[in-house]
Amino acid sequence: MKKSANLCDVGRCIASLGVRGKLKGGIDMKKYLSGMICVLLVLSLVACGAGQSAGTVADGGYKYKNEMMSADVAAGEALYDSAMPEYIAQTFESKSVYQNAGVKLIRRANLQVQTVEFDKAVATLEQLVLSLGGYYENAELYSGGYHAQGEHRSGQYVVRIPAESYDTFMEQMDGVGYLARRTESTQDVGQEYFDTESRLTTQRTKQERLQQLLKQAGNMEDIIALENALADVEYQIDQYTSQLRRYDSLVGYATIDVNIQEMQRITDDPGQQAGLFQRMKTGIVSSAGGVVDGVQNFLVWVSYHIFGLLILAAVAVGGVLVGKRYIRRYKAKKMERATEKEKEE
């Protein structure tokens, strides 16, 4: 639209010039102007064609550039897609290799068990430990003192179970009693273990070299120095060997602390997700059980202190009788004094 407008403006200018030329110069001026018009039209057509060609070339270059960029992006995505699965596979493979070959796990657990049959629970635990090839590292039993016959019994045990039987032991602990609390922890000491092995190997190599030098030593001063160095190396070897044995023991056998508590009654809590009536029923049963337990505990306490209570009752009755007798005498004397005073008046 802009190009056609420019051509119209040029035509108007030439026409005006042509009219003036005709008025002034006649035929010669007309021929001159006609030639100029032809030249200007040819130049305009050439300029338009060049602009369209340049636009076409520019558009083609832009499209070519976009196509090249798209091809590069597609190639990059294809390379990423083909490389990532291999990288991920290598990553997980190395992780699994580390878990299988380099991991040294120390497993520990803490269990709190409640039971109404204490003797049976202790016997069941002992049978379970022996059946899995474990042993007791420590056992402590509290049965109450002479003056605490009504207290509940409890037992604290430190059990060592082979690592391969750890899961089986944890699953079968439900047969011992009600598992009120369960805590587990795992520690990887693989790095420390292999570092200790490396240090131990270094010290043994050093020991062999010192022994060879000791055989070749010629004077007493060198012999004493080498023997002192050997003593230090042997001490380090003993330390590292003991540490490795400790790691082997902790890794090979899991450590489990078991606390067994004797209870009078164990009531399962329905939880907040249970219905209203179910929770009310559980509360009523628990409250009634608490009252019954309280009465029973009171009767048991009375039976343990019956003689002391009888003595206290006898003393109390005697005190009441003596007090009443004293009050009667006091009142009688008071009446006599009042009577004597009336007679005197």
Task: Report if residue 315 sits inside a domain.
Answer: no
Report the sign of the C-alpha dihedral through residues 269, 274, 278, 279, in that order.
positive
Task: Report if residue 319 sits inside a domain.
Answer: no
Task: Report if residue 93 sits inside a domain.
Answer: yes
Task: Report if residue 334 sits inside a domain.
Answer: no
DSSP three-state, residue 136: strand
Alpha carbon distances (Å) from 167 to 162, 170, 256, 271, 337: 10, 5, 12, 27, 93
Residues 112, 118, 121, 123: what is their CA dihedral angle, to the nearest 10 degrees? 130
Cross-strand bridge partners of residue 254: 161
Same domain for 178 and 217, yes or no, is: no
Question: Is there a contact between 216 and 243 (Cβ–Cβ < 8 Å)?
Answer: no
Same domain for 1 and 69, yes or no, is: yes
Same domain for 135 and 245, yes or no, is: no
Task: Report if residue 120 sits inside a domain.
Answer: yes
**Domain end point (choices 57, 86, 102):** 102
Task: Report if residue 148 sits inside a domain.
Answer: yes
Same domain for 178 and 258, yes or no, is: yes
**Domain end point (choices 63, 85, 102):** 102
> In residues, how long is the chain?
345
- What tokens does 65 get? 């550039």
Task: Output the pLDDT for position 96.
Answer: 35
Same domain for 111 and 258, yes or no, is: yes
- What tokens does 144 get? 């109450």
**Domain end point (choices 102, 123, 144):** 102
Residues 282, 294: Cα–Cα separation, whole Å: 18
- Residue closest to 156 by CA, chosen among 252, 264, 254, 262: 262
Same domain for 90 and 21, yes or no, is: yes
Task: Output the pLDDT for position 253.
Answer: 96
Same domain for 113 and 133, yes or no, is: yes
Cα 293 to the chain's mean position, in Å?
41
Residues 323, 327: Cα–Cα separation, whole Å: 6
Residues 60, 252: Cα–Cα separation, whole Å: 74
| Helical axes 276-304 vs 306-344, angle rounded to 10° | 70
Task: Report if residue 327 sits inside a domain.
Answer: no
Residues 270, 282: Cα–Cα separation, whole Å: 8
Same domain for 110 and 129, yes or no, is: yes
Q: What CATH number is given to the structural domain containing 124?
A: 3.30.70
Residues 152, 132: Cα–Cα separation, whole Å: 29
Task: Output the pLDDT for position 67.
Answer: 42
Same domain for 179 and 43, yes or no, is: no
Cα angle vertex 231, ends 227, 234, to 5°?
130
Same domain for 9 and 90, yes or no, is: yes
Same domain for 37 and 136, yes or no, is: no
- Residue 116 is given by DSSP the state S
Give the residue ranges of the chain where pLDDT is below 50.
Answer: 1-27, 29, 46-100
Same domain for 208 and 70, yes or no, is: no
Task: Output the pLDDT for position 41.
Answer: 58
The beta-carbon contacts of 209-218 under 8 Å, at least 24 apart in sequence, are: none
Report the sign of the C-alpha dihedral through residues 40, 43, 48, 51, in that order.
negative
Q: What is the CA radius of gyration of the chain?
A: 54
Question: Is there a contact between 183 and 110 (Cβ–Cβ < 8 Å)?
Answer: yes
Counted domains in the chain: 4
Q: What is the mean pLDDT of the chain?
A: 74
Domain that holds residue 208: 191-252
Task: Report if residue 229 sits inside a domain.
Answer: yes
